[in-house]
Homo-oligomer: A and B are copies of this chain.
Amino acid sequence: MTRSEENYIKTIFHIGRQGKEAVSTNSIAEQMDTKPSSVTDMVKKLAEKDLVNYKKYQGVSLTEMGNKIALGVIRKHRLWEVFLVEKLDFSWDEVHEVAEQLEHIKSDKLIDRLDRLLKYPKYDPHGDPIPDKDGGFEERDEILLSEVPVGGGGICVGVKDSSASFLKFLDKNNIGLGDHIQVLEIEEFDGSLLIGIGENQKQISHQIAANLYIKLKEE
């Protein structure tokens, strides 16, 4: 697997939920900041290797094998992110770029030992689950804060958008994973929310709420 092949596989996985859905040539091109024609070329090559299912004009999905590879790359990416935050004191908005490089390092031993060093973490710094060695996923039952009705609330467990700008915004506003959040009011006009977070109250836009994952309080 070349670096480039791995990146295509990973992107196909991310766009079609877990690579099961067929995704369009254009969506891949857009996501990877490349041209549709380049995507077609690569997709043909991946189809040759039985990593994707591809029929002209019908979109692409991952095969069993392709899925395994995607999960492997994602596992590496997320473990490195944990490493960068836990061991090297990176902030959660700084890790992505570097992890994009580190995820392509080839060494099973390296990644197993890294996993051990980090004490087998289940989630990365953005709350995304880390696949285990066999590609097993721990899906959480979480919903977006924008879906929580007035009066409801829970623990903030993840972000949907993990762009640096969003993460920096959260830092600036003292919103982080593990925080207890309650929805106090929803503004009819623009969908903005008044939330209780810890001891404080805050007004946040609908867009913010639509990018925070909440685990509802049990029972």
CB within 8 Å for A88 and B105 given contacts A98-B110, A110-B98? no
Q: Please state if A84 and B110 are interface contacts (CB–CB under 8 Å).
A: yes
Interface residues on chain A, number (Cβ under 8 Å) = 19
List of B residues within 8 angstroms of A110 by Cβ: 84, 88, 98
**Any B CB within 8 A of the CB of A207:** no
Q: Which of A14-22, A89-97, A125-133 contacts B (4 or more CB under 8 A)?
A: A89-97
Q: Please state if B101 and A113 are interface contacts (CB–CB under 8 Å).
A: no
List of B residues within 8 angstroms of A109 by Cβ: 90, 94, 98
Q: Residue of B at shortest CB range from A102?
A: B105
How far apart are A101's CB and chain B's nearest CB, in angstroms?
A: 5
Q: Please state if A101 and B105 are interface contacts (CB–CB under 8 Å).
A: yes
**Any B CB within 8 A of the CB of A117:** yes
Known: A88-B113, A88-B117, A98-B107. 10 other contacts (CB 8 A): A84-B110, A87-B117, A88-B110, A88-B114, A88-B116, A97-B107, A98-B105, A101-B105, A101-B106, A105-B105
Q: Residue of B at shortest CB range from A105?
A: B101
How far apart are A2's CB and chain B's nearest CB, in angstroms?
A: 12
List of B residues within 8 angstroms of A84 by Cβ: 110
Q: Please state if B90 and A113 are interface contacts (CB–CB under 8 Å).
A: yes
Give CA–CA (A94, B89) in the complex, Å: 27
List of B residues within 8 angstroms of A98 by Cβ: 105, 107, 109-110
Q: Residue of B at shortest CB range from A3?
A: B3
List of B residues within 8 angstroms of A90 by Cβ: 109, 113
Give CA–CA (A113, B110) in the complex, Å: 19
How far apart are A145's CB and chain B's nearest CB, in angstroms?
A: 31
Give CA–CA (A109, B85) in the complex, Å: 12
How far apart are A3's CB and chain B's nearest CB, in angstroms?
A: 10
Give CA–CA (A97, B110) in the complex, Å: 11
Q: Mark A57-86, 1 if CB is under 8 A from B, else 0.
A: 000000000000000000000000000100
